A and B are shown apart, each in its own frame.
Chain A
Amino acid sequence: MNWFLNHIDLIVEKTGQHLVISLLPVLFGLIISLPLGWLAGRNPIARAVLIPVSALLYTIPSLAMFVFLPLILGTQIIDPVNVIVALTIYTVSLLVRAIADALSVVDASILAAATAMGYRPARRFLAVELPLAVPVLISNLRVATVSNISLATVGSVIGIEGLGKLFSEGFQRQNLDEIVTGVVLVVVLALIIDLVLQLVGRAITPWTRTAVKS
């Protein structure tokens, strides 16, 4: 506990860095997955390619990804961009399928009604399909986010800043307090972000909590 209180500044700094390298990839991953998921949901050929490929990406070990990405990207090995790109890839691999599935459960008759009202495809996607897919989307986004917060710690092995540094350095210094602080903070951070996403999801889907009255 003393270690924690004496290193508040360091902890705040590491937490901030950790949030950047774990949450930016969620945002980028979502932006990339939306069109891919939409395509996979509409086109059977796109689905046959995108779903297995994205699933395969998730099986690449994170450490291997962090080590090989600099060779592909031409970045320094300790550049946080490597982690951000790697976690973006994992996010995409989780979300493409989720988005394809979330969109496919939207009632076809509602979409037909939207088209018949005069919606053009792009506007219909943003105004009708996407909002109706939000409940499924949010639950998958929570999985991807928590996964990223956890995976981002692996970056510390190759020298990337973040909460993972607390356990890799604590391990070198044989400082148990530092290791425990790191572990606890990662878990707490994951729980808080998960809760925030859950609340945001509830706030933007008020219709899902309406009791059926006759």
Chain B
Amino acid sequence: MIEFRSVTKRFAGGSVAVDNLNLTVEDGSFTVFVGPSGCGKTTSLRMINRMLDPSEGKILIDGKDVHEGDPARLRLGIGYVIQHAGLFPHRTVLDNIATVPRLAGWTKAKARSRAGELLELVGLDASMAKRYPAQLSGGQQQRVGVARALAADPPILLMDEPFSAVDPVVREGLQDELLRLQSELDKTIVFVTHDIDEAIKLGEKVAVFRVGGVLAQYAEPAELLARPADDFVAGFVGRDRGYRALGFLPASQLPVGELATIIEGATIAQTRAVLHDGWAVVVDRNGKPIGWAEESRLHGQDPAATLSEDLLHAGGSLYQADGGNLRSALDAALSSPSGRGVAVDADGAVTGAVLADDVLAALARARNDGEVRS
């Protein structure tokens, strides 16, 4: 447990970076500090491992003031990941990861073997071990950064905008990977970002800071979207918050309707026979959707000919019937050329269809049941 007790940080020159912060981070929780630049989120993070010391107040880890004792020893028990990874350019990937175990006094052999395990844990190939950081892509470097932070198995992990320098596609992969790691490792994570979407995706609890180092709201993401504490938070979480809030309601409660499907390689005549309201989804052998067939495009084609792909409409987004949420279900419905959102199972095979109205009805039920406060 990390506790900020009336913590204020003033820099030389008098500017206040953090103003009387009181906040508790629970053990094993994923907490995100978010806010615009100059809001004190990074300063707050850096006071936990004493890269900075508070001007007033104190920070406790498991009830013990971090200020008592040796900072280097404190830091050995706290993993730290920064933007651009901050890897040591003169050490191989393996030796970068082995850094903290070596500092903690492990033998070189033991530290390296542990580093090898970590490499695998963060999804990097063993062939990367002997490379230098300059030989890795930004995303790979960031994975090594996470591996290095986890190497000595610290109970706490501090992450300072770790993914903000990588491109959006890679970032999303890293975020998913981090959530997967956290579900296995159960660390106490404090993560700093300026990106509210990242905060809402990753955080179990989100602390929104405003300029001047004042904590504006500290709540679960769903609560933040449903009930922003003030205009600042409402503005910061953005215009689409009603839509994004759907992301916290499971899609499993949606009724999955029937959907006409036809396997690829069928003839025009076979396809026309299964159309439902003029539409059918063409699937491959594994049941994965390829695109939509529509009556108006098939009309007038040779009935005996095989249905070719250029007659199809591109599909919309998909959502997982189990594990997905109402936001992805609604998006699937809205983006589908037929107006029917395609539901798939965990393997990506089509299981049925959902209409936008079904999603809205599910939302209304959730409201009545008190799952969403409006």
Residues on A close to B: CB < 8 A? 109-110, 112-120, 123, 128, 131-132, 205-207, 210-214
Query: Which residues of chain B have C-beta atoms less than 8 A from A117's C-beta?
Result: 75-76, 80, 99-100, 103, 148
Contact across chains for A113 and B72 when beta carbons are under 8 A apart: no
Chain B 204-233: CB-based contact to A (< 8 A → 1; otherwise 0):
000000000000000000000000000000
Q: Which 8 residue pairs spanning A and B have beta carbons closest together?
A: A113-B86, A118-B76, A116-B80, A118-B75, A207-B132, A210-B132, A131-B90, A207-B90
* Residue from A109, A114, A131, A207 having most chain B Cβ neighbours under 10 A: A207
Q: Can you list 14 contacts pairing A with B, beta carbon distance less than 8 Å?
A: A116-B75, A117-B100, A118-B72, A118-B73, A118-B75, A132-B88, A132-B89, A206-B132, A207-B90, A207-B132, A210-B131, A211-B135, A213-B136, A214-B137
Q: 14 new A-B pairs (CB below 8 Å) besides A118-B76, A211-B135? A: A113-B88, A116-B49, A116-B80, A117-B76, A118-B73, A118-B100, A118-B103, A119-B103, A128-B90, A131-B90, A132-B89, A207-B134, A210-B131, A213-B136
Nearest CB of B to A173, in Å:
53
Distance in angstroms between the alpha carbons of A116 and B50 in the assembled complex = 8
Query: Which residues of chain B have C-beta atoms less than 8 A from A123's C-beta?
Result: 103
Nearest CB of B to A136, in Å:
13
Distance in angstroms between the alpha carbons of A113 and B142 in the assembled complex = 13
Contact across chains for A109 and B89 when beta carbons are under 8 A apart: no
Distance in angstroms between the alpha carbons of A131 and B92 in the assembled complex = 13
A117-B103, A118-B100, A132-B89 in contact; A112/B82 too (CB < 8 A)?
yes
Decide if B84 is an interface residue (CB 8 Å cutoff): yes
Query: Which residues of chain A have C-beta atoms less than 8 A from B103's C-beta?
Result: 117-119, 123
Residues on B close to A: CB < 8 A? 49, 51, 72-73, 75-76, 78, 80, 82-84, 86-91, 99-100, 103-104, 131-137, 148, 158
Q: Which of B49, B84, B88 contacts A128 (CB 8 A)?
A: B88
Contact across chains for B86 and A110 when beta carbons are under 8 A apart: yes
Query: Which residues of chain B have C-beta atoms less than 8 A from A207's C-beta?
Result: 89-91, 132-134
Distance in angstroms between the alpha carbons of A112 and B103 in the assembled complex = 16
Distance in angstroms between the alpha carbons of A132 and B103 in the assembled complex = 19
Distance in angstroms between the alpha carbons of A214 and B170 in the assembled complex = 13
Q: How many A-B residue pairs have CB under 8 A?
A: 68
A109-B86, A118-B103, A120-B72 in contact; A212/B80 too (CB < 8 A)?
no
Query: Which residues of chain A have C-beta atoms less than 8 A from B131's C-beta?
Result: 210
Contact across chains for A119 and B88 when beta carbons are under 8 A apart: no
Query: Which residues of chain B have C-beta atoms less than 8 A from A114's C-beta?
Result: 88
Contact across chains for B86 and A115 when beta carbons are under 8 A apart: no
Distance in angstroms between the alpha carbons of A172 and B78 in the assembled complex = 72
Distance in angstroms between the alpha carbons of A212 and B131 in the assembled complex = 10
Contact across chains for A112 and B51 when beta carbons are under 8 A apart: yes
A109-B86, A110-B88 in contact; A210/B49 too (CB < 8 A)?
no
Distance in angstroms between the alpha carbons of A115 and B86 in the assembled complex = 11
* Residue from A115, A118, A132, A214 having most chain B Cβ neighbours under 10 A: A118
Query: Which residues of chain B have C-beta atoms less than 8 A from A206's C-beta?
Result: 132
Query: Which residues of chain B have C-beta atoms less than 8 A from A213's C-beta?
Result: 135-136
Distance in angstroms between the alpha carbons of A115 and B49 in the assembled complex = 10
Closest to B131 in A: A210
Query: Which residues of chain B have C-beta atoms less than 8 A from A116's C-beta?
Result: 49, 51, 75, 78, 80, 82, 158
Nearest CB of A to B175, in Å:
21
Distance in angstroms between the alpha carbons of A16 and B86 in the assembled complex = 46
Query: Which residues of chain A have C-beta atoms less than 8 A from B84's C-beta?
Result: 109
Q: Which of A109, A118, A210, A212 contacts B82 (CB 8 A)?
A: A109
